[in-house]
Structures are given as structure tokens and as C-alpha cells.
Structure 1
Amino acid sequence: MAPHADRPSGSDPAVPFAQDTRPIGPPSGILAIPSQWHSEQGLQHSLKQLGFDEKREDGYRLKGVQLIDAVRQSLHLPVKTFDTAATYYHKFRVRYPSSDYNYEDVALAALFVACKAEDTIKKSREILCAAHGLRQPHDHKTPDDKMFEAPSRYIIGLERHILETVGFDFRVQYPQKLLIKVVRQMFPRDDPSCQQEGKEFLKVAYNMSIDLYKTFAPIKQTTFTMVLAILELTARLLGTTPQRTKALQEPGSWHSNRPCVLETILDLLDLYTRFQKSTKVGIRFDLQKFMDIKIDYNNLLSNENRDRYTGWCDRCSLDSNNSMGIDAPSATATPGSATSPATNPSLAGSNPAKRKIPPTEGTQRFIFDADKARQERDIVARYFEDEYEEYEIEVEEPIPPEQPSEPRGKNSGPQPGRGGGGGGGNNNQPGFRGHAPSGPGQGNHSRSGRHGRDRHRNQRGGGGGGGGGY
């Protein structure tokens, strides 16, 4: 029930207020507040809801980011476009299963959206042509070729889903710019003795910032946290003197904290120990070196009694596993590359990507300020609140009259279970019912349910159930 508007002072109460009769408009829609960062526990919960296979999903994640980086270099796009595309790619794959969308299509669509967001405009045909040139170097095609017409429509169809996934929130982390500034402070240019060391340090750290986007760290941590983790791990790999990294020992002055830095370092070490050949820094160092550094950081967490992931809740994890039935086998999902028009030129692909978002009523709107979203939701809810009043009323129900029984025929015999003898007596009386003799020497006394005198009249007739009579 809609709340009444306030009347102005001095108005006549008998005159209806004009605003009371104004029609109420449609609902304001479904409010969605985009989230820039996610926790590791939230990411794992989302992936389990999709029924993911850890080994397969890790491979798709690495291949998708590698494809984005390769196409970006082929088109000579800046690194900030790569950062944006990789972030959109991770957020999309956390929300949609691999069985519905091929990772190559999502990677190319994410790069297409990132080009628009970063003002490095590239057409979808150009991106598809560059990807085709990487897969088949000997088959030279131009973006105007007809084979890219249907895949281009498919990429444009995925663009809408990526925008809804990120919630039109285009804020992305760019660690490379801050990384170069910090490395220049660590290795000043006026000192010629450390110029070569600084170049080698920056080369490894810069490649590590590219490898970092092959993990979920960019959607979990801030820019300062990622930069501190990259610098600390690079210093451990190259054996940099502690004087160079002394300024990095206080994360509080860098708008970060130590647990988040350690989590990011261990994410990088997990990547280098499990997928060494799929990274740029992993192939430059020995695997045993990464293993030793990872053991040292694990011991550090044990000694300081820290959790592997920041903000992890064991109780919430158990409740989530029990409610979702983790013991049940996950559904087998097959990638859509075989039926994807963006990666298979022989298919038409005229139909855009299907909408996997559950249907809702109203228009979905995205608001970036959570406080304003809650305030708007509370104001709108007052106009669509249904108020009910309960009343308890006692009602006396009349007793229905007794219905008479159906009359029996003249030659009808006794019904089973109701008469004990033959068919003698006045059986055509209304409401006649036969009864068995109640004692020795009594005949077939038939009683009527309505007249008591029928009991004596029935004794005149002959009955086969006894020798009663006068």
C-alpha cells in the first residue's frame, strides 16, 4: 500500500490532495552492484556451483590468457588493454561454465570489449583475423574476408554478456606503470654500477606482471599488493641485496598488508611450479628453485600462524560443501570449440550467444555506489508493499435435515447382512428394514425406522425365519 504524501500546511482536509491520486509508476528494476574484487573462497564457491574440473579449467584459463597476449602483440596493442581483457576473461569464466562458451571465443570477445574500454579501438574482424593468422600462419587472410562475417556476429553477441558480467564497471588494475616507478627508485639512474642490474631486474619483474594475469590475483588484490609481491619474488629469484628491497618491508606504507602480499606470492609460486612451461619467467629458472622458495614461504605461514588465503572461513566452507553436495560427481562438460563459429569458420553462427542469466522481472540496472542502491531500494519498496489485516469471524453453520432412505420394491428380498429370514411381511413400507430375530420363539420382526407400530403388523405375514404369529 502506497504511503500518503505529506499535505501542505493550511490546506483544507476535505479537499483531496492532488498527489494522492497520482498513478504509481512501474518498478525501478533490479539493482545490481558490481564487485571489483573477489575473495578466494568466493571464487571457489562460484566455480563449484558451475561443476568445474580443476585440471581442465586451469588449462583453459592459461590458454585463454595466452591467446589474449598473443593477439595483443600481433595487433600492437598496449599492455593496459591486455590487463583489461584478462580481467574480463577471468570474471566471465567464473560466472559461466565452459560447456556453454568456448574459452577462445570468450578470450577474443574480452579483448574486443577491452579495446573499447581502453580507447584502443579494434574491429571484431581485425581481432578474428589476427587470431586466425596465429593458428594458421601460412593462410593469409584480410579482415574483410567473408569467413569472418559469422564469427564477428558471434563475438558481438558475447560482448553484451561480458558487459553484464563486469556490471559496466571498467575499473581495472594496471601494475606495470607503478612497477616501473618503484624499480627506478630501487635502481637510480645516476648510479652507473646498478644500471645493468636494474635492467635485468625490470625485465624479470615485467614478465612476472604478465604471468600474474594467468592467476586470479588481479581480481583479488589491489595494484600495490600485486607490485609488492612481484618485487619481493623477483628479488628472491635474482638474489638482490636486502638494501634494495628495504623500502618494501613495510606494506602499510604502500596501502597494503602482509597477508595479502604473501597470498599473491604463493599464487605466483603455484603457477610456476605447476605450469612452468606456460609462463615467461618459469622457463628462465630451475623448477627446484621455485620449490625451495615455496617451501620457505609455507614455513613462514606456519610459524606466524597465518592462513593460506586472506579472510578464509572454515565454517562457511563446510556449510557450503554440505549444501551443494560436493561428494556428488560433477557433470562432465565439454568445451564448445567444436561448435563455436568464432573458432570454426565452417559454421554459420548466426545465432548469438544464449542468455544464461536466470530470468527476472523488470530491467536490470547497475549502480556503483552501494549506499545509494540500498537507499533507492528502500524508497521504492514502500510503494509496492502489500498490507493485509486479519479478521476472525465466528459463523454458525446450520445442520442439514435428515435425508429419507430410498423405498424398496415389492418383491425385493432382504439385503445381505440386514435380514435373517425370508421375504415375509409388509416389505413395501417406506423406510422398511429387515432385522434378524432377537430371541427364541420370536418370528421375523421387521422394524421401520420411522413408525413403531409396524413391528406388530409385520407379524401377520408368514416368514421363513421363524414361526411367529397369532
Structure 2
Amino acid sequence: MSANASTTPRSGSPASNPQGPLPAIIQLSRPYLTPNQISALEQQVAHINGSRDQQLKFQAFSVILATGSYLRFPIRTMGTAMIIFQRFYLFNSMQDFPSTSDTALACLFVASKTEDTLKKLKEILVASYYIKRPSGPDISMDSPVIEDQRRRLISLERHVLETISFDFRVKHPQPYIIKFAKRLRYPVSLAETAWQIALDSYRTILPLKSTPHAIALGCLYIAGSLIEVDISDAKPDQFCVQPREFENVVLEMLEFYIDWLPQTTLFARYTDPAKFMSMRIDLNKRLGKYTEQCVPGAHLQLRDYSMSDKGTVRYVLNWERERIERESY
């Protein structure tokens, strides 16, 4: 999964270091963030109420899904774009990047490269233009309007890449849903419902803090409850999922459906949030009083846009390698 990072100042000079100068800043990739890190970042970027903030995100997700569908991108590309978008606005304030539509298109452009479903940026912009103006005048990729927006998004793309620390590793829960369902011989209807729930998980913060196989198992659990299929034989430990992480996935998805059901994929089939509320109550009875435990982690800060002015920035994916290199100097 793409990830963000903390920064570690480094210094060095050719005189004191025969191997050459060290980069001024090391930025380590973080595949997943802990709940307290996410909470701290959300408090730093919050400048409007939570409901309004969520509505802006839903509008951006609609832009990603509509443009991606127009260009016939696979689900994984649109899902990756939504994950990148969520991460971007964890580390960047909407005051600095108020156009969530532009950010959504920039994230979709990065995701198309990440998932090897390449499209030119101008193609994405033209598709977005026709979606906004279905009966409007035709436009070419050489139009000054498209060129002006392209230049703006190229600059925004650089901020997106720096925010994700140039880490393009993204894994999705859908393949695990298929594998788990086949392994346990669940009906196709269960896998299809879980697949839809997995699509809704992109609209939450879960992919930034939970592994894809934990999300897949949680989606199967909720799907089983919805269509009344017994999945008691799906034990978290059996699939290398910590019970607490599994519980967190299920509870967060249920809370999301209770609060935002009309904005979800499942709304076409389940229009009453009371069904999810009863599932939430039933789960609480069996799990006991649930309190999410925040795992201690390094304190993270918002993006520092002057970072590259302070010297060379090196983006590192392998923490262990960085530690070995640091100790060798």
C-alpha cells in the first residue's frame, strides 16, 4: 500500500564521509498508520466540521468513480486513487489544496500509473470535462482549457507523489475475498455482497490502517450477516488476522453504514440503517464493550513544502536498510 513517512534529519560532507554526502532528510515510508497517528493528523488538518469534510470527500470519490468508469479503468485503479486521496488529505490541509476535484483527478492519474492502466493526463481531463458537461460543446486535447488544467495538475501530482513517499505498493481486499470464499466453500452470493462492501471500504480510512486480508474477512462477516449465511467457521487466526483488527474492521464498516448509508454501494439493496444498527448491537453483545486501543507510534506532521529547499530528500521504503546504512556511517 502507498504510505507516508516521518522525516529524519541527516547531514554529511565529502570530507568526513568518503562515500559522499548524505541526504539532508530521510523520509521513511509507512505502509500503515496507527489509530492515534490518524487521529492526530485529522486534528491538524481539520478546519471545517467533520460532516462537511466527509461530504467533500464523497464528491471527490464520485469524480474518481465517474471518470474512471468513463475511461474503463478497473476497480483496482479507482480504489487505489481513493486510497491515495484519503492519504493526501491526512497529510495536507484542504486550506492549502481546496480543489478536491483537481486532487481527485491527480490521484486517479497517479493510480493509473501505479496499477499499470496508463492514460495520458489530457485523456483524463477530457473525460472529466464531458462528465461535467454531457451536453456541452466538444473539446480537444489541444484546447487551452485542457492545457491550463494539465499544468495545474502536473504540479499537484508532484505533491501527491511526495505525500505517498513514492511508495506505490497497494494491495486490495477483493482477491482475498475470492480466495477465502473458495477456501471455505461459501456461496457466490456471499462473495458478491462482500465484494460490494469492499468497494465501500475505499470510502473509509480503513485501508490506511488495516491489512487487506483483515478487511476482506470483515467484509465476509458483514455479508454473511446481511444475507443470513453462517460464516462462524471463518476464524481470524486461520487467516493470519489479529482478532482485534478483525473486530475493528467490522465495527468501523458498520458505523460507516449507519452514518452514511445513502452514499454507499449497498444502498441500492439495503436502504434501512436500522439493519446495520442491529448488527452493531449484536456484535457488541458478543464482543463485550469494545474500546479501540491506540498503538503508540511516531508523531507525524503535515507535509513540509520547504523540505526540499533544505537539501536532498531521500525516500526510503525499507526501514531495516536505512537503519543498517545509518549505523555504518
TM-score (norm 1): 0.61
- CA distance in 1 between counterparts of 2:286 and 2:64 reads 35
- CA distance in 2 between counterparts of 1:20 and 1:276 reads 62
The 8 Å contact of residues 269 and 294 in structure 1, kept in 2 or not, is answered as: yes
163, 178, 196: which is aligned to 1:165? 163
Counterpart of 1:96, as a letter, is: N
1:375 positional shift: 3.1
Is 1:47 aligned to 2:30, yes or no?
A: no
1:58 positional shift: 1.4
1:92 positional shift: 0.5
Residue of structure 2 in register with 1:386 after alignment: none
The 8 Å contact of residues 276 and 283 in structure 1, kept in 2 or not, is answered as: no
When residues 28 and 253 of structure 1 are mapped into structure 2, their CA distance, relative to the original with a 3 A threshold, is same
Is 1:229 aligned to 2:210, yes or no?
A: no
The one of the two structures with greater contact order (alpha-carbon pairs below 8 A, sep at least 6) is 2
Q: What do residues 249-272 of structure 1 show as CA deviations (whole Å, max 9, x unaligned)?
A: x21121111111111112211221
Residue of structure 1 in register with 2:78 after alignment: 82
Is 1:106 aligned to 2:106, yes or no?
A: no
The 8 Å contact of residues 191 and 220 in structure 2, kept in 1 or not, is answered as: no
Provide structure 2 residue ranges, at least 5 long, that are not aligned to the other structure: 1-13
- CA distance in 1 between counterparts of 2:36 and 2:57 reads 18
When residues 134 and 24 of structure 1 are mapped into structure 2, their CA distance, relative to the original with a 3 A threshold, is closer
Counterpart of 1:146, as a letter, is: P
227, 233, 249: which is aligned to 1:264? 249
Residue of structure 1 in register with 2:60 after alignment: 64
Pair member with larger Rg: 1
For these two proteins, the number of residue pairs brought into alignment is 309
- CA distance in 2 between counterparts of 1:20 and 1:58 reads 52
- CA distance in 2 between counterparts of 1:364 and 1:154 reads 23
- CA distance in 2 between counterparts of 1:47 and 1:268 reads 19
Counterpart of 1:76, as a letter, is: R
1:293 positional shift: 0.9
Residue of structure 2 in register with 1:407 after alignment: none
Residue of structure 2 in register with 1:211 after alignment: 200
1:28 positional shift: 2.9
Residue of structure 1 in register with 2:6 after alignment: none
- CA distance in 2 between counterparts of 1:236 and 1:60 reads 31
Counterpart of 2:46, as a letter, is: G
232, 238, 250: which is aligned to 2:227? 238
- CA distance in 2 between counterparts of 1:202 and 1:23 reads 58
When residues 28 and 103 of structure 1 are mapped into structure 2, their CA distance, relative to the original with a 3 A threshold, is same
91, 97, 106: which is aligned to 1:95? 91
356, 370, 389: which is aligned to 2:319? 370
Q: What do residues 85-137 of structure 1 show as CA deviations (whole Å, max 9, x unaligned)?
A: 11111111101111111211111101101111111111111111112222221
1:77 positional shift: 0.8
When residues 100 and 366 of structure 1 are mapped into structure 2, their CA distance, relative to the original with a 3 A threshold, is same
1:201 positional shift: 2.5
Q: Which has the higher helix share?
A: 2
Q: Give the root-mean-square deviation of aligned CA atoms.
A: 2.7
- CA distance in 1 between counterparts of 2:63 and 2:320 reads 39
- CA distance in 2 between counterparts of 1:359 and 1:20 reads 23
Residue of structure 2 in register with 1:73 after alignment: 69
1:369 positional shift: 1.7
SS in 1 for 2:94: coil
The 8 Å contact of residues 83 and 172 in structure 1, kept in 2 or not, is answered as: no
Residue of structure 2 in register with 1:288 after alignment: 274
When residues 237 and 132 of structure 1 are mapped into structure 2, their CA distance, relative to the original with a 3 A threshold, is same
1:288 positional shift: 1.2
Residue of structure 2 in register with 1:273 after alignment: 258
Residue of structure 2 in register with 1:37 after alignment: 32
SS in 2 for 1:275: helix
Residue of structure 2 in register with 1:147 after alignment: 145
Counterpart of 2:282, as a letter, is: D
The 8 Å contact of residues 284 and 290 in structure 2, kept in 1 or not, is answered as: no
- CA distance in 1 between counterparts of 2:268 and 2:276 reads 11
Provide structure 1 residue ranges, at least 5 long, that are not aligned to the other structure: 1-18, 189-197, 321-353, 381-470
Counterpart of 1:311, as a letter, is: C
SS in 1 for 2:30: coil
- CA distance in 1 between counterparts of 2:116 and 2:143 reads 25
Residue of structure 2 in register with 1:133 after alignment: 130
Residue of structure 2 in register with 1:194 after alignment: none
Q: Percent identity?
A: 27
When residues 66 and 39 of structure 1 are mapped into structure 2, their CA distance, relative to the original with a 3 A threshold, is farther
The 8 Å contact of residues 260 and 310 in structure 1, kept in 2 or not, is answered as: no
- CA distance in 2 between counterparts of 1:180 and 1:86 reads 22
The 8 Å contact of residues 251 and 257 in structure 1, kept in 2 or not, is answered as: yes
Aligned ranges for residues 298-317 of structure 1 at < 5 Å?
298-301=284-287, 303=288, 305-307=289-291, 309-311=292-294
- CA distance in 1 between counterparts of 2:224 and 2:52 reads 32
- CA distance in 2 between counterparts of 1:246 and 1:227 reads 15
